[in-house]
Amino acid sequence: MSDARQLLGIKGAAETKNSWKLRLQLMKPITWIPLLWGVICGAAASGNYHWSLSNVIASIACMVMSGPLLAGYTQTINDYYDRDIDAINEPNRPIPSGAISLLQVKLQIWVLLGLGLLFAYGLDLWAGHSTPSVLLLALGGSFVSYIYSAPPLKLKQNGWIGNYALGASYIALPWWAGQALFGHLTWTTAILTLAYSLAGLGIAVINDFKSVEGDKALGLQSLPVVFGIKNASFISAGMIDIFQLAMVGVLIAIGQNLASVILILLIIPQITFQDIWLLNDPLKYDVKYQASAQPFLILGMLVTALAIGHSPLSNF
């Protein structure tokens, strides 16, 4: 189990000296899942995705760009700038443990960023974009990732701003990339996905529970530090539920009644798992909660995306 945690980049991982395993741990593969799914949602929301070999290859390339490359870059640069915090919270992680040098980490950051931008440029060429929309999204997302982790801005110092930036990066940005690749990104869907990202803020809070000790020591105002662990768990659950329910209202307003019912049915088990795991002991059960509840969240995203792709909203 600890070996699996090591490969996924989860707290409690086994220590290793294998350089490739260390690099993968820095990239936190467990965090790629919502980005891969976000690309699928964006393609569905475009209303223009057709099953062909070319489209499948392009969508896989977009997932590689969003997940392993740019999310990997995000996680690696976050570990680089959080090495003092990790020395308190997770001293066995690759950087604070000394298992990998800072020079190697910097090289990994630049390689992942460069490959991610190269993939974005190639996708724009494939799509025939006159304006390199995917590349611009990749550049914008990479910049947000940098200021999220790096001083002097270091957005993660503020629990609300930092977690929203993280939520938008994990929900809105890959959705936009998938939609721009296969159709065109509209203002309406951009605003809706930014609203949906407030549910992502609630998910991002979960990652802060394990870092309370280090955040307090270094003055980071995460929500668990500001409000306490119990109150922050209620804030997390509330953000996740309220803004998914807001999407239910949007689906009803645009006449997608079946999709709204399905989305409600997918929210119910999330609330159940919140009661069992998240609100019970978020420090102990954070991994179990995310493993049990997140599948229903991302399925709800796809239901919403498909409904938007088959409604007039896909054109406005």
Query: Is the pLDDT score of 210 beyond 60?
Result: yes
Among 62-66, 77-81, 184-188, 221-225, name the one with the lowest average pLDDT: 184-188
93 phi and psi, to 5 degrees?
-65, 160
Distance CA 291, CA 296 (A): 10
Q: How far apart are CA 49 and CA 182, in angstroms?
A: 6
Residue 87 CA to residue 225 CA, distance in Å, equals 18
CA gap 29, 166 in Å, rounded: 16
Q: What is the pLDDT at residue 214?
A: 85
Residue 283, amino acid: L
pLDDT confidence of residue 234: 97
Domain boundaries, the chain: 2-315
The pLDDT assigned to 314 comes to 58
User: Do residues 89 and 207 touch, judged by C-beta distance below 8 A?
Assistant: no
- Split at pLDDT 50, 70, 90, the class of 3 is low
Hey, which CATH number is domain 2-315, 2.40.50, 1.10.600, 2.60.120, 2.60.40?
Answer: 1.10.600
Dump the DSSP string for 45-114: HTT-----HHHHHHHHHHHHIIIIIIIHHHHHHHHHHTHHHHHHH-TTSTTTTTSS-HHHHHHHHHHHHH
In this predicted structure, the answer to whether residue 6 has a pLDDT above a threshold of 50 is no
Residues 33-55: tens digit of each pLDDT: 889 999 999 999 998 999 999 99
Q: Residue 5: CA atoms inside 13 Å, Cβ hemisphere, count? A: 12
What proportion of the chain, given as a percentage, has pLDDT over 90? Answer: 77
Give the pLDDT mean for 159-175.
94
